[in-house]
Amino acid sequence: MQPLRLVIGLGNPGPEYARTRHNAGAWFLDALAERAGVALGRDAKLHAEVGKASIGDQLAWLARPTTYMNESGRAVAALLRYYRIEPEEALVVHDELDLDPGAARLKFDGGHGGQNGLRDIIRQLGHGRFHRLRIGIGHPGHKDRVTPWVLGRPGIDDEAAIRRAIDESLDVIPLAVAGNLAEATKRLHTRTARDALAGRGPA
């Protein structure tokens, strides 16, 4: 499989959203930039903060959209167009209601599953053929509670589990960026499942 040339972490801009569940993708992107020693710079024409990182043996662009979540597609489309990157060479990192805190999953293609950032990206691109890293935030149990849930801050235990899943994901990102998505997926899914069974992740 071809290497990844762009990693995008979704979230809402501004300090009031920084620690909310909906910003789990942005948390990942910030952690990846820190691990790579890259400072992100704001680029108005790309609607994102952007930096170029060396990940393993590959160079990749890192981007955190400065749009609100439901306008993420504007930034993603601009980034792909400007850097001449195919959607299949991009990884979008986002929060995932259908996974418990502590879980993380890689996948390619598919629908948006109600995630508004993905919804807008798919609307802008006309398809869903890009890679996703889904960071579990858990579900509040009823659809009427979803909006305050995703825009709220997780408790101490849930945040620790989400951060742990991000760390596990960071460990396999060099494999994914190099194009070895199958091995990255195998390792990530095995490790986060093992953590959950060991009681270090969600019950």
Cite the active site residues. Answer: 22
The kind and range of the H/E element at 183 are helix 181-197
Q: Give every CB contact of residue 83 below 8 A, 6+ residues apart in sequence.
A: 5, 6, 61
Sheet strands side by side (includes 58-65): 41-43, 48-55, 58-65, 6-9, 90-96, 131-136, 104-108
Token digits of residue 120: 């807008």
String of DSSP letters for 101-145: TT-EEEEES---TT-HHHHHHHHHHSS--SEEEEEE----SSGGG
Query: By C-alpha distance, which of 170, 127, 190, 168 is closest to 9?
Result: 170
121: left (phi over 0), alpha (psi -120 to 50) or beta: alpha
